[in-house]
């Protein structure tokens, strides 16, 4: 997706894209970071922030998940958190209920050589603090968002929590994406021997920000199984979790690792 500032425009796009889904079920569908509002600035995200489990966008996502009988990760959407908002990634089940919620832990406070130059997510966003997984009919889904990709400790913690698939809704910039996107997503998949589903925003947005695109699905061996470089659309693959067992048996890195994850709370 190349999301715009108006949530209803973006939700209309989501609804159209979901009509193109393959017939297979169970199915996990993942939307990009900030899918419902992008390009209007963080203040606009704060203004549209909803109360958790009570908001128009959440109800529409629940309805779409139920209509199509899918697990649906609503990228991220702003959820009220005092004077700021949480960048919340919500996983809806095929019955339309929220299975779990992940609040983005690592906030994008960096300087980039692009039109925006200075990114300070923490000004408006309340960081999360919990490693989140969800049991589904496709296996255990671990949840992460965009800038989390640069912190391998989180991915290791998700693996230790039993994840088979990690979802990574993203809005990687053009500059950082071109330099690091493929290398980092593949590295995290290889390190943790896990499937990663990584949809990314693409194109020029209303506020001048440019995102990289190249949505990808990566295997536990680091293979790019599907990719869409630019343009709206859907990529999909059929996965066999037995592939994970085979790779982990052949190369038991988790058992051989000499270091432990210590979660900061």
pLDDT of residue 261: 61
Query: In residues, how long is the chain?
Result: 265
Q: Are 76 and 50 in contact (CB under 8 A)?
A: no
pLDDT of residue 42: 77
End-to-end CA distance of the chain: 33
Contacts with 97 (C-beta within 8 Å, 6 or more apart), sequence order: 62
Active site residues per annotation:
33, 104, 146
Output the average pLDDT for the chain. Answer: 94
Structure token digits, residue 221: 């061996």
Instruction: Kindly report the CATH class assigned to 25-252.
Output: alpha beta
Sorting pLDDT into bands at 50, 70 and 90, what band is 116? confident
Q: So where are the chain's domains?
A: 25-252
pLDDT, one tens digit per residue, over 172-215 is 999 999 999 999 999 999 999 999 999 999 999 988 889 999 99
Q: Would you put residue 256 in left (φ > 0), alpha (ψ -120 to 50) or beta? A: alpha
The partner residues of 125 in beta bridges, in order of sequence, read: 85
Whole-number Å distance between alpha carbons of 115 and 241: 42
**pTM, rounded to two decimals:** 0.95
What DSSP string describes 173-215?
BHHHIIIIIHHHHHHHHHHHT-EEEE-B-EEE-TTS-EEE--E
pLDDT, one tens digit per residue, over 56-89 is 999 999 999 999 999 999 999 999 999 999 999 9
Residue % of the chain over a pLDDT of 90: 88
Provide the total of helices (H) and of strands (E) in the chain, helices listed first.
Answer: 8, 15
């Amino acid at each position: 997706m190349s999301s715009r500032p108006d949530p209803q425009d973006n939700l209309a796009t989501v609804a159209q894209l979901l009509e193109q889904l393959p017939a297979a079920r169970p199915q996990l569908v993942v939307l990009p970071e900030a899918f419902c509002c992008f390009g209007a600035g963080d203040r606009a995200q704060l203004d549209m922030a909803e109360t958790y489990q009570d908001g128009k966008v959440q109800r529409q996502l629940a309805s779409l998940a139920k209509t199509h009988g899918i697990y649906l990760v609503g990228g991220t959407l702003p959820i009220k958190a005092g004077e700021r908002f949480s960048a919340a990634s919500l996983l809806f089940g095929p019955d339309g209920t929220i299975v779990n919620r992940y609040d983005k832990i690592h906030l994008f406070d960096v300087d980039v050589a692009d039109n925006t130059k200075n990114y300070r997510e923490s000004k408006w966003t309340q960081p999360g603090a919990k490693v989140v997984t969800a049991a589904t009919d496709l296996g255990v889904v671990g949840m992460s968002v965009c800038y989390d990709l640069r912190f391998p400790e989180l991915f290791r913690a998700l693996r230790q929590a039993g994840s088979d698939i990690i979802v990574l809704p993203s809005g990687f910039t053009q500059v950082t994406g071109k330099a690091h996107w493929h290398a980092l997503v593949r590295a995290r998949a290889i390190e943790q021997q896990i499937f990663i589903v990584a949809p990314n925003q693409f194109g020029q947005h209303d506020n001048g920000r440019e995102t990289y695109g190249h949505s990808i699905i990566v295997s536990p061996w680091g293979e790019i199984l599907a990719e869409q470089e630019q343009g709206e659309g859907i990529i999909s693959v059929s996965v066999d979790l037995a592939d994970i067992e085979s790779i982990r048996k052949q190369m038991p890195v988790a058992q051989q690792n000499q270091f432990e994850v210590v979660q900061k709370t």
